[in-house]
Amino acid sequence: MISTENNIGAARLILEENILGGSCARVCPTETLCEQSCVRNDQDQRPVSIGLLQRHAVDAAMAADKQFFERAADTGKRIAIVGAGPASLSCAHGLACKGHSVTILEACEKNGGLNEYGLAAYKMLDDFASREIEYILAIGNIDIRYGQRLGADFDLVDLQSDYDAVFLGIGLSDFMDSKGIESVDEIIGKAVKQVTDWRYLGLNTIVKAEIDQDSCIQCGRCHVVCEDTSHQAISQMKEGRRHFEVLEEECVGCNLCVSVCPVETCITLRELSVGEVDARTGKMVSGEYANWTTHENNTMRAS
């Protein structure tokens, strides 16, 4: 469908199978799962970029505000869902489509769960997690109540007596309970390094990716992910031949290329020395603390 420019039709098929298809296209490591097993690899061809294709289709549908789902007639059934993470939101959407009334009880101040609190910011740019949730909730008949913690503000006995069914999507709760943590706020920047709001990241150094040509197997994953984040800092051709090289004037040091490279010693990050000029910004590295909100490498910074 995408090859015939029927992006909306492709998006319908994707979202019918997975209403969170947009975030999955951004987050799922397709380069080491689907693409690594793609049969085109056996034919000396580039594997199908399934993640990028899925993202392309879903983004087109969301940009056009195409809603493919309608709520069925009200069944009179009331369903309680504990947690407002990906599993719970998917469940809520499916139930709402069938005409059931859904109430989500969420302990935190925001919905989204892992998509909101646990993913690296570069994977969910432009507030995509929130926009995707708005798209899901547009089906209607889904009420989210915040500040509601299981075991403190309500218990399962209450839910079982007040609702026709209960779905538990508690996500990080088991981990938090095992560590004696009561709030997600307590683990931001501590339990998982990615669980840090990008606005509060601080940078003391500036780094640039470097590719060891002797180790490079020319797989191209670094180029694909760099293009996907619109950095375009890794070239793919040189003198008419396949060749991957970092363009320092474009590199923001995001580390994404390092994380997807299958060869451990191929791509490294070089720290710029104090007094060295950053080729991307033309400014001298001072070594002083720089908040991510105003840092030159932050493409979302306020002008």
Q: What is the pLDDT along the chain (303 residues), one digit of tens a residue?
A: 888 889 999 999 999 999 999 998 888 877 767 777 788 777 767 788 888 899 999 999 999 989 999 999 999 999 999 999 899 999 999 999 999 999 999 988 888 887 777 666 667 777 888 899 999 999 999 999 999 988 889 988 989 999 999 999 887 666 566 667 666 566 554 433 444 444 455 566 688 999 999 999 888 888 888 876 656 789 888 887 889 999 998 888 877 888 888 888 899 999 888 889 988 888 888 877 666 666 666 655 655
- Residue 202's pLDDT is 53
Residues 209 and 262 in one domain: yes
Residues 173 and 83 in one domain: yes
CATH of residue 121: 3.50.50.60
Given a contact cutoff of 8 angstroms between Cβ atoms, the answer to whether 229 and 125 are in contact is yes
DSSP 8-class letter at 161: H
Residues 182 and 287 in one domain: no
Residues 191 and 92 in one domain: yes
- Residue 24 host element (H or E): helix 21-27
CATH of residue 20: 1.10.1060.10
**C-alpha to C-alpha distance for 282 and 265, rounded to whole angstroms:** 29
Residues 212 and 105 in one domain: no
Boundary of a domain, candidates 162, 196, 230: 196
DSSP 8-class letter at 296: T
Give strand pairing partners of 207. 271
- Residue 110's pLDDT is 84
* Position 299 in a domain: no
Whole-model pTM? 0.60
* Position 282 in a domain: yes
Residues 240 and 226 in one domain: yes
The stretches of 73-190 forming alpha helices (DSSP H) are 86-97, 114-117, 128-137, 156-162, 173-178
Residues 177 and 100 in one domain: yes
Pairing state between β 202-203 and 207-211: unpaired
* Position 302 in a domain: no
* Position 70 in a domain: no
Owning domain of residue 249 = 199-291
* Domain count across the chain: 3
- Residue 269 host element (H or E): strand 267-271
Burial 266-281 (b: 16+ CB within 10 A, else e): bbebeebeeeeebebe
Residues 137 and 167 in one domain: yes
Q: Torsion angle, CA of 80/84/86/90, rounded to 10 degrees? A: 30
DSSP 8-class letter at 184: G
Residues 174 and 221 in one domain: no
* Position 185 in a domain: yes
- Residue 194's pLDDT is 41
Q: CA angle, 242 as apex, 240 and 247 as ends, to 5°?
A: 95
* Position 69 in a domain: no
Residues 190 and 82 in one domain: yes
Give strand pairing partners of 105. 82, 145
Residues 99 and 181 in one domain: yes
* Position 301 in a domain: no
Distance of CA 296 to the CA centre of its chain: 22
